[in-house]
Amino acid sequence: MRDVVIIGVGMGSQWGRYDGSLVELMAESSLDAINDAGTDEIDAVFVANMGAGRINNQTALGSALIDYLNLFPAVGASIENGPASGGTAARIGYMAIASGIHDCVMVTGGEKMRVAPGPVVTDFIATMSHPEAEYIYGITFPSLGAMLARIYFKKYGVTSEDLARIAIKNHNNGLMNPYAHIQQKITLEGILTSREAKLNNPMIADPLHLYDMCPVTDGAASIIMCSLDKAKEFSENQQIKFSGTGQGMDTMAVHEREDPTFLRAVSDASDQAFTMAKLKKEDIDFAEVHNAFEILEIAELESAGFYERGTAHLAIREGETEINGRFPVNPSGGLKARGHPVGATGVAQLCELVWQLRGEAGERQIPNNPTHAYAVNFGGFGNNVVVTILSIV
């Protein structure tokens, strides 16, 4: 197994609403990554996408992107694994290089979701639920997030104010991220405690309000990986090693889990990644976690082992997860502020890890020269999860 490093990253346009085609959107981030890497000598292109066949009436995106960018003779493939598509594509790219099959791989995640009406997007996302036990009864992912939040409220004393604090933190981080979809400062008074809060922050799925969940987003992100020996030929950038990867699974039907607050797939994927990287939780300087709903930021931190179960919200109250805190979480703004074009999210997480490890994150740069970073990309409602650990070489 060869060492694999990321030599280029890019996110193209600011996320939000994109007027061009999906392939044009992905081409922008791909060209950014190629320019950053300093090479277009790419053997393979893996495109992460969940919804283009249904929402954009286009499939075979790997072939389309290679053709659009004239990257021949590179080979291509499309990878669909729900919202974990991006992390999965990066993991496959890693394996292709580590095994010696390819020397240089580009992974691009992209989604153009805002062309579809809200109910269509909600239903499209809901198709990831169990087809017989959940979907046919009208389950939606906001409702699953709400049920998880209710259990957390009752079992551990988490409150709506705790979720609002996470949202405020992520919005503040997003204000410093030029790619973030949501560029808006929010306050506890504005979204929770004032008389106007019900208008500003309506209930979506009790107890989750509008600001407890991520927006529907168009966006793309790209990374270029290669073997360590090739990196020395291609790029003068700080080399960022793909030091750990893991993938975990759990039941599709949430009601079949012994304890829904324990995300077994997150735990298993994290354990695999830490074992491979030969690191401990204490070695990680910051994390990007998959907070499609703010309650997941709490649950993932606990299931990964960064905090004891039932304690992450207490650390958040103390400011530990702020950019200048003991353990910064989602310096990019996370899905809450950066946005969540589902196939692109896992790749964007890795872009943020690289920028932070290189010291190139601008106003949102984490202090004290971080050396190890963690990302969890969450598929389904926690039934298929990919964890990646990146480190400075």
Within 10 angstroms of residue 369's Cβ, the number of other Cβ atoms is 10
Q: Tell me the average pLDDT of the chain.
A: 97
pLDDT at 336: 98
Measured distance CA(83)–CA(346) in Å, rounded: 8
**Is residue 235 over pLDDT 80?**
no
CB 104 within 8 A of CB 42: yes
Average pLDDT over residues 352-372: 97
The pLDDT-based confidence of 234 (bands split at 50, 70, 90) is confident
Whose CA is closest to 324, among 368, 266, 279, 264?
Answer: 368
Average pLDDT over residues 30-41: 96
Tell whether pTM > 0.75.
Answer: yes
The pLDDT-based confidence of 173 (bands split at 50, 70, 90) is very high
**Is residue 330 over pLDDT 90?**
yes
* Look-up of token digits 């039941």: 251
pLDDT at 106: 98
Torsions phi, psi of 369, nearest 5? 50, 70
CB 266 within 8 A of CB 372: no
Average pLDDT over residues 39-57: 96
Whole-number percent of the chain with pLDDT over 90: 97
Average pLDDT over residues 102-124: 96
In tens, the pLDDT along 57-74 reads: 999 999 999 999 999 999
Q: Are strands 4-10 and 218-227 parallel, antiparallel or unpaired?
A: antiparallel
Architecture (CATH level 2) of domain 4-114+216-234: 3-Layer(aba) Sandwich (3.40)
Whose CA is closest to 84, among 261, 258, 321, 248?
Answer: 248
pLDDT at 332: 98
Average pLDDT over residues 183-199: 95
The pLDDT-based confidence of 14 (bands split at 50, 70, 90) is very high
CB contact burial 114-153 (16+ within 10 A = b; e otherwise): bebeeeebeebbbebbbeeebbeeebbbbbbbbbbbbbbb
The pLDDT-based confidence of 360 (bands split at 50, 70, 90) is very high
Torsions phi, psi of 289, nearest 5? -120, 160
Average pLDDT over residues 320-330: 98
Average pLDDT over residues 254-276: 97
pLDDT at 301: 98
Residues 6+ apart with CB under 8 A from 26: 12, 47, 61, 65, 108, 110, 220, 222
**Is residue 207 over pLDDT 90?**
yes
